[in-house]
Amino acid sequence: MKIRLSESLIVNSDSITSVELDEQCIIIVFNNKHEIREFYNNDLESACVFNNIISHINVKDVRFYDEEKPKEEDERKAKAFDMFWNLYDKKIDVSRCRKTFLNLTLVEMGEAVKQVKTYVESTPDKKYRKNPLTWLNNKGWTSEVKFDKKKVNRYVKPEYVTDER
pLDDT in tens, 43-56: 888 888 888 777 77
Digit-coded pLDDT (tens) for 65-122: 655 555 777 888 888 899 899 888 888 889 999 999 999 988 898 899 889 888 888 8
Indicate yes or no: pTM above 0.75: no
The full length of the chain comes to 165
What is the side-by-side strand order in the sheet with 16-22? Answer: 16-22, 25-30, 35-39
Each domain of the chain, given as residue ranges in start order, spans: 2-56, 68-142
Rounded CA-CA distance 89/127 in Å is 11
